[in-house]
């Protein structure tokens, strides 16, 4: 985008709504420190993706993030935002162009929520009408009412304050958002809600996001890609959550992602991602011989009884098919059903809770979609490739 190679500091940069970010052999050593906080760190984040930096305490996550908006300057290597080195940008200008959300959000206590959200537009000299329009739009985007805009930060809950922080960071439509443990101080239930809301928001705004956390579960949930850092700010692995869980690069990563990495992988996939067992429906009134023959052909011990609208109403063990047409009276009631949105992990729990019997999956309109068995779920756990 910018092919100049002069060492001069550039003026404001006209970014697209999301820009790619690249760390190129980045090194950083704090003055007087015996060893670097960041050591030869390279990775690239495509525009519009969430990259999570995760790792143990002191592995350099916050340092890496602060190098991007030049709150700290790097010692070697380079960081490119939209192909342009951040070293060539004026720090103050760069910071206005990058959204920044931190744990203790740092809202101005004597300004209203609306005034807080308007901080960057004001710095950029937007007129009053444009600013007010943007503030209204952003409050709505993060799920806050216009009325809340008139309150002061102390009059909001922790979760609401965090939403204001996200709105403020988004105000000038930045091509990149830096989020440092943004939900770290929030209780687990509200934290999950904020994570879900942010993912929904991200599906609309598609910003490039660098997200720091020390919580591997949060990393797996939020990241399109995850950079695992180890002591000394070295990159242990850079991969998608599924790759990381399926094929950890070494012992350190395997330990960091946890012994339950197989189960964690199951939360990433949904029943809609796998091929279900088909052809198991028996309609009320079907001749017993026909139903028995179908079950034998499929190697099934039971069929799913469906009504005229193809909706499952019970499960019928083949042993009970003794001459009479298929009837719901002979069937066991359905203890649970799943949908295509059910995670493989939840499906596994349901299968196990039902004595390892295949689980009935229904479409959104209630029709039978198919069955999922323990074998199908464990097949999905095989490493890719
Ligand atoms: N201002 C500083 N001066 C000197 N050393 C620092 C400074 N800030 C951080 N460090 C050191 O740099 C290393 C990386 O710190 P950093 O805060 O980036 O790690 P982190 O992974 O974000 O840790 P945490 O999860 O605990 O927040 C650590 O060894 C830390 O002690």
What per-residue confidence (pLDDT) applies to 190? 82
> With a 6 A CB cut-off, is 60 part of the ligand 1 pocket?
yes
pLDDT value at residue 14: 58
* Sequence spans of domains, the chain: 21-266, 281-381
Average pLDDT, the chain: 90
Counting residues of the chain whose pLDDT is more than 70, the rounded percentage is 95
Q: What pLDDT, on a 0 to 100 scale, did the predictor assign at position 347?
A: 95
Mean pLDDT of 44-59: 96
Residue nearest to atom 26 of ligand 1 (CA): 57
- From 61, 211, 215, the mutation candidate for ligand 1 (largest count of ligand atoms within 8 A of CB) is 61
Class of the CATH domain delimited by 281-381: alpha beta
Q: How far is the CA of 99 from the centre of ligand 1 (A)?
A: 21
* Position 7 confidence tier, pLDDT thresholds 50, 70, 90: very low
> How remote is the CA of residue 60 from the centroid of ligand 1, in Å?
6
Ligand 1 centroid to Cα of residue 46, in Å, is: 26
Q: Is 60 exceeded by the pLDDT of residue 4?
A: no
Report the chain's terminal Cα–Cα distance, integer Å.
36
Instruction: Give the mean pLDDT of 169-191.
Output: 87
Q: pTM score, two decimals?
A: 0.81
Averaged pLDDT, 80-107: 88
16 — pLDDT class (breaks 50, 70, 90): low
CA distance 373 to 365: 22
Report whether pLDDT(2) > 50: no
Q: Is the CB of 63 under 6 A from ligand 1?
A: yes
For the segment 128-150, the average pLDDT, to the nearest whole number, is: 89
- pLDDT for the residue 226: 97
Q: 42-51, 113-122, 223-232: which has the minimum mean pLDDT?
A: 113-122
Residue 103: pLDDT over 80: no
Same fold, 21-266 and 281-381: no
Rounded average pLDDT over 306-329? 92
221-225, 252-256, 377-381, range with the lowest pLDDT = 377-381
pLDDT tens track for 343-376: 999 999 999 999 899 999 999 999 999 999 999 9
pLDDT at 5 over 80: no
Name, in order, each residue with C-beta under 8 angstroms of 53's C-beta and a sequence gap of 6 or more. 61, 64, 65, 210, 211, 212, 213, 227, 229
Mean pLDDT score, 123-151:
89
Averaged over 296-311, what is the pLDDT? 92
CATH of domain 21-266: 3.40.50.300
Tell me the Cα Rg of the chain: 27
Rounded distance, CA 300 to CA 84, Å?
Answer: 61
pLDDT of 383 reads 65
Our answer on whether the CB atom of 59 is closer than 6 Å to any ligand 1 atom is yes
Determine the distance separating the centroid of ligand 1 and the alpha carbon of 218, expressed in angstroms.
21
Contact between 148 and 127 under an 8 Å Cβ cutoff? The reply is no
Ligand 1 contacts CB of residue 33 (under 6 A): yes
Is any ligand 1 atom within 6 A of the Cβ of residue 228? no
Which pLDDT score, from 0 to 100, does residue 335 have?
84
The alpha carbon torsion through 185, 188, 194, 200 (nearest 10 deg) reads: 140
Is any ligand 1 atom within 6 A of the Cβ of residue 34? no
Q: What is the pLDDT of residue 10?
A: 58
pLDDT at 189: 83
Question: Is the per-residue pLDDT at 188 higher than 50?
Answer: yes
Instruction: Find residue 212's DSSP bridge partners.
Output: 53, 180
- pLDDT score for 110: 93
Residue 57, CA atoms < 13 Å, CB-side half-sphere: 0
Q: 200 versus 67: which is more confidently predicted?
A: 67
């Amino acid at each position: 985008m910018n092919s100049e190679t002069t060492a001069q500091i550039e003026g404001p940069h006209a970014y697209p709504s999301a820009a790619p970010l690249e760390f190129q052999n980045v090194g950083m050593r704090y003055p007087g420190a015996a060893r670097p906080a960041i050591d030869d760190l390279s990775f690239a984040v495509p525009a519009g993706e969430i990259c999570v930096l995760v790792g143990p305490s002191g592995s350099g996550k916050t340092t890496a993030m602060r190098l991007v908006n030049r709150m700290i300057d790097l010692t070697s290597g380079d960081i490119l935002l939209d192909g342009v080195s951040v070293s060539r940008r004026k720090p103050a200008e760069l910071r206005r162009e990058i959204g920044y959300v931190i744990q203790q959000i740092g809202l101005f206590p004597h300004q209203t929520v609306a005034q807080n959200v308007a901080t960057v537009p004001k710095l950029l000299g937007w007129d009053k009408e444009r600013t007010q329009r943007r503030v209204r739009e952003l409050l709505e985007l993060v799920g806050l009412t216009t009325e809340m805009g008139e309150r002061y930060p102390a009059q909001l809950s922790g979760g609401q304050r965090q939403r204001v922080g996200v709105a403020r960071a988004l105000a000038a439509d930045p091509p990149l958002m830096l989020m440092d443990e943004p939900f770290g101080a929030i209780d687990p239930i509200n934290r999950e809600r904020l994570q879900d809301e942010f993912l929904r928001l991200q599906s609309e705004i598609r910003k490039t996001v660098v997200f720091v956390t020390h919580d591997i579960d949060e990393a797996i949930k939020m990241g399109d890609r995850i950079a695992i850092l180890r002591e000394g700010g070295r990159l242990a692995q850079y991969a998608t959550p599924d790759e990381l869980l399926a094929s950890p690069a070494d012992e350190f990563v395997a330990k960091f992602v946890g012994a339950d990495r197989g189960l964690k992988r199951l939360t990433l996939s949904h029943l809609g991602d796998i091929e279900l067992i088909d052809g198991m429906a028996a309609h009320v009134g079907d001749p017993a011989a026909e139903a028995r023959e179908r079950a034998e052909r499929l190697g099934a011990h039971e069929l799913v009884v469906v009504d005229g609208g193809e909706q499952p109403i019970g499960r019928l063990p083949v042993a009970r098919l003794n001459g009479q047409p298929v009837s719901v009276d002979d069937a066991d009631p359905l203890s649970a059903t799943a949908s295509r949105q059910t995670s493989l992990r939840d499906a596994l729990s349901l299968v196990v809770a039902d004595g390892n019997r295949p689980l009935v999956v229904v479409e959104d309109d209630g029709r039978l979609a198919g069955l999922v068995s323990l074998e199908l779920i464990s097949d999905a756990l095989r490493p890719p490739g």
